[in-house]
Structure 1
Amino acid sequence: MRGRWGAGCSGDRWGGEAAAMAHFGFCPPYGGLDFGLGAETANPPTRPHAHTPIHLLFLAISVAAYSADEKTVEIAGVVSDGAKPIAGATVRLRTTSIVTTSDDQGRFTLGVPDKTWPVRVTASKDGYYIRGADAQKGAKDVKIVIEPYPATDAANFQWTGFLPNPDVKDSCGNCHSNIMNPWLKAGHASSHRNPVFKSFYLGTDAHGKPGVGQGYRLDFPNTVGACAACHVPAAALDAPWATDPSKVKDTDTAGIHCHFCHLVVDVDLKDLGRRPGVLAMKFRRPPPPKRLFLGPFDDMDRGAGGYVPLYTQSAYCAPCHEAEYWG
């Protein structure tokens, strides 16, 4: 589900969530869904003419000729943890669909187009940081060493900053403004301060005037509930039943932010009505000074990245978007 999905996230159709949806691969292949009042409208690219059988024949011949002319060079190597070979690692020519799996001795072979050398080859496996190595033309001794990221979740974790800030070296927004800017305008960034949510939770109007309408805290004054498990999940992670969304501060007021979303390793979809949000999610917050950022790509080998297949599945969103409450 790589780049081919991103084209369907038209900002005027999908709103502020467009870039984030493209980032995780959940957009349609073309901008054809209208979520307004109208019916579904498909808008595929205009075709000047239909493809006749003769056109398709010439196209097939051209593709076959191109494929036959493209020369490949075989490279080979071993994936290990520095001491023993790693079997079942995904080995990829970075940013391409040329991929294989290491055997029981950690060995791999790739057929690489004979174009520009050296090339970058990456290796990933569940529970390991993604790592890579440069390979020269025809190399048979490419060595990729991958190491496991922490196997347990560290409580009282210090979240990485996310807003652009030259004084904070690792702040997400310093490099990822193309994703940061749409996020700032979208529902995830405002999940904590959304006036509709605050009104329903506290029993106030949109301006904070108390005693207007219904509210969770009016009905259940002795409990804060589990609303924070979805609306302020980073704050609720260690105390999902004891976090008052109206009293969080600092980074937690950012709602659903970058680092929170990029540390999920698994979800449990059973009984979501009673266990929403972080109650149904498993995380891997690394103890300092370790760092970790999980995501949908298995070749992001720039430091602290890890690949989790869950990020390419709608189940990733389900704990907060199943819309089932109270069992």
Structure 2
Amino acid sequence: MNASDSVVLTAWAPGYYIGGGRSFLPGDTAIVLALHAHHQSDNPNYSWAGAHAQFGNPNNCQHCHAAAGDANAGLPFDDWVLDAHSGSARNHRFLTMYLGTDVYGNQSPATRYGYSRDYGAFPLSPVYDATWFGPGYRLDFPGTAGNCAACHAPVAAIDDAYGVDPVQLSGVEAEGIGCDFCHKVWDVKINPGTGMPYDNRPGVLSYEFRRPPDGHQFFAGPLDDVAPGEDTCTPVQKESRYCAPCHTAEFWGVTVYNSFGEWLDSPYSDPETGQTCQDCHMPKGLTDHFARLDKGGLIRNPETLSSHRMPGAMDENLLRNAVSLSATGWLENNEAVVEVNITNDKTGHHVPTDSPLRHLILLVIATDAHGDTLRQIQGGMLPDWCGIGDPRQGYYAGISGKAFAKILEELWTGVSPTAAYWKMTRLVSDNRLAAFATDVSQYRFRRPDNGSVRIDVQLFFRRAFRQLADWKGWSDADILMEEEVMNLDQ
């Protein structure tokens, strides 16, 4: 460096705000970097700062962490608004499942109950007529708010995890999993015996917070050189356990969400050779500053800055790089044979993961030279919950292939697959692809007397069971993850 080049010096120690932030020249002496201890308790009376810019409030994140006129610059606010976390409290799938409505506000009838002398009241199966718009938590438990907000609306639920109605939210509480919430997390309460959050402690119940006292601010993050200001470093924000409270959940003794536990049980959790959740979902190297330069932001090494877009189940690029598929085909006597291998070689948890509504659909279609479908004589066929109807419209029941899903069944009604996992359920099956697992399936078709055979193999990700999506009015398109086409000549 040149003698005229200045250097910004900072210092940090656990329990203190990051100090320094002033520029010095080579040869400067008597340099003092003062560290000030931050508070060690949580202030439940803290007023949350909203992420979106509001008139008269300079603390809103958008003012400094959004690019002026360039939403693709990779600044945190711009990424966050494109991420599912910012919409967690207003997600149409979440709200329609909570209320028992479709996207137009039509609500299913309240749950009906029978009575047994031995068991008392028990739920009955719904009547699937024109008045049914799918299940809903409030249909089954109309007198309670539930604990949904503990993850979906944590700002509102932080001091009342079981008493927040997600439908009644407004302002910063409706911003979902917002900036100020995440940067007030100080630690995660993990059971040392299991490495998992404690039972029945979803979302905010498993976090430790540091909301500041009046007259102060407090931002905890993964960097130890953000100064001057009331910022500090907390290593947990770079660790997978930071994600655990909202990415593992158990209802009535049945594990429903568990992407964190799946990661923990996989080689990806090895501290020496593995990868964290943040490595994949908050990749580094996409920008060289996290605050606007005209607001005091500094140019930094891009490899130290994490993206806040957090790609997940709605990100096509992530899904198309989640697994590997290979297919081979051959002609054998009077049959066309296809073997498909799918390996989860790129994902640190099961594929698909978390919500049990999600599933993969493998389609294996054999046609002759005229485009007519060949008759299947051996191999799996897709179940009814892949949709009964026109395959051209995405209804694939009865077509050759395989579905990968976690299937739950309601104990009292026998409804399966169920989306109402807040009820008592049992696990029927789970053939999702664990990390580094391979699935092999084979299909045989009656070959034509002459001409070539075309084999189309496609693997799709689907957000929800087709019948449920129709009831609710959800229109999320299937995402093509992998595809192979083969021509088998006579």
Q: Give TM-score, length-normalised by structure 1.
A: 0.61
Q: Does the 8 Å CA contact 2:50/2:178 hold for their aligned counterparts?
A: no
Is 1:130 the counterpart of 2:53 in the alignment? no
The residue type equivalent to 1:251 in the other structure is V
1:3 aligns to what?
none
d(CA) in 1 for partners of 2:57, 2:33: 31
**1:186 maps to amino acid:** D
CA deviations 1:188-220 (Å, max 9, x no partner) are 111111111012111111222211221112112
Residue by residue over 1:109-133, the C-alpha shift from the partner in whole angstroms, topping out at 9 and shown as x without a partner, is: xxxx666543222111222111114
2:105, 2:222 → 1: CA distance?
A: 40
**Amino acid corresponding to residue 91 of structure 2 in structure 1:** N
In structure 1, distance between residues paired with 2:221 and 2:203: 18
Equivalences for residues 14-29 of structure 1 within 5 A: none
Alignment of 1:289-300 (within 5 A): 289-300=215-226
CA contact (8 A) 1:272 1:319 kept: no
Q: Assess if the C-alpha contact under 8 Å between 2:3 and 2:26 holds in 1.
A: no
Q: Is the 8 A contact 1:273 1:326 kept in 2?
A: no
Q: Determine the C-alpha separation between the residues in 1 that align with 2:4 and 2:147.
A: 54
2:149 pairs with 1:228: yes
Q: How do residues 246-325 of structure 1 correspond to structure 2 at under 5 angstroms?
A: 246-270=167-191, 271-325=197-251
Residue identity in the other structure for 1:262: H
More helix as a share of residues? 1
Q: Does 1:120 align with 2:8?
A: yes
Q: Select the residue among 81, 88, 104 that pairs with 1:207.
A: 104
User: In 2, Cα distance between the equivalents of 1:150 and 1:325?
Assistant: 36
Deviations 1:171-200 (A, max 9, x none): 110111122122222211111111110121
From 149, 159, 162, the equivalent of 1:241 is: 162
Distance 1:172 1:134 in 2: 25
Identity %: 40
| Structure 2 Cα separation of the partners of residues 248 and 126 of structure 1 | 36
In structure 2, distance between residues paired with 1:269 and 1:241: 21
Q: Which residue of 2 aligns with 1:173?
A: 62
Shift of 1:251: 1.3
Distance 1:276 1:161 in 2: 23
Contact 1:273 1:325 in 2 (8 A): no
- The amino acid that maps onto 1:223 is T
Residue aligned with 2:77, SS? helix
Return the alpha-carbon distance in structure 1 between the equivalents of residues 153 and 141 of structure 2. Answer: 19
* 1:311–1:219 CA distance, 2 compared to 1 (3 A): same
Q: In terms of Rg, which structure is larger?
A: 2
Distance 1:198 1:236 in 2: 16
Which residue number in structure 1 is paired with residue 44 of structure 2? 155
TM-superposed deviation, 1:168: 1.9
Q: Find the counterpart in structure 2 of residue 145 from structure 1.
A: 34
With over 3 angstroms needed to count, the CA separation of the structure-2 counterparts of 1:126 and 1:284, relative to structure 1, is same
Classify the secondary structure of the residue corresponding to 2:46. Answer: coil
Gaps of 5+ in 1: 1-112
Measure, in 2, the Cα distance between the counterparts of 1:235 and 1:205. Answer: 25
Out of 184, 189, 210, which is 2:81 matched to? 184
Counterpart-to-counterpart distance in 1, 2:87 and 2:54? 20
Aligned equivalents of 2:3, 2:199: Cα separation in 1: 54
Q: CA deviation at 1:167?
A: 2.9
CA-based RMSD:
1.9
Counterparts of 1:170 and 1:282 in 2: how far apart (Å)?
23
Amino acid paired to 1:143: V
Q: Check whether the contact 1:232–1:255 (CA below 8 A) recurs between aligned residues.
A: yes
CA contact (8 A) 2:4 2:25 kept: no
Is the strand fraction higher in 1 or 2? 2
Paired AA for residue 197 in structure 1: F
Q: 1:186 to 1:326 in 2, by over 3 A?
A: farther
Could you tell me which amino acid in structure 1 is paired with residue 10 of structure 2?
T
> In 2, distance between residues paired with 1:239 and 1:255?
16
Instruction: Name which of structure 1's ranges 137-146 and 311-320 shifts more when overlaid on structure 2.
Output: 137-146
C-alpha distance in structure 1 between counterparts of 2:101 and 2:159, whole Å: 28
Contact 1:161 1:168 in 2 (8 A): no
Equivalent residue, structure 1, for 2:361? none
Count of residues paired in the alignment? 215
Post-superposition offset of 1:323: 4.6
Q: 8 Å contact 1:264–1:283 — kept in the other structure?
A: yes
Aligned-pair distance for 1:166?
5.4
- What is the Cα deviation at residue 272 of structure 1? 4.5
3-state DSSP class of the match of 2:85?
Answer: coil
Alignment partners' CA distance in 2, 1:240 and 1:286: 21
Contact 1:272/1:324, CA 8 A, preserved across alignment: no
2: CA distance, partners of 1:115 / 1:316:
43
For the residues of structure 2 that align with 1:320 and 1:287, how far apart are their CA atoms? 27
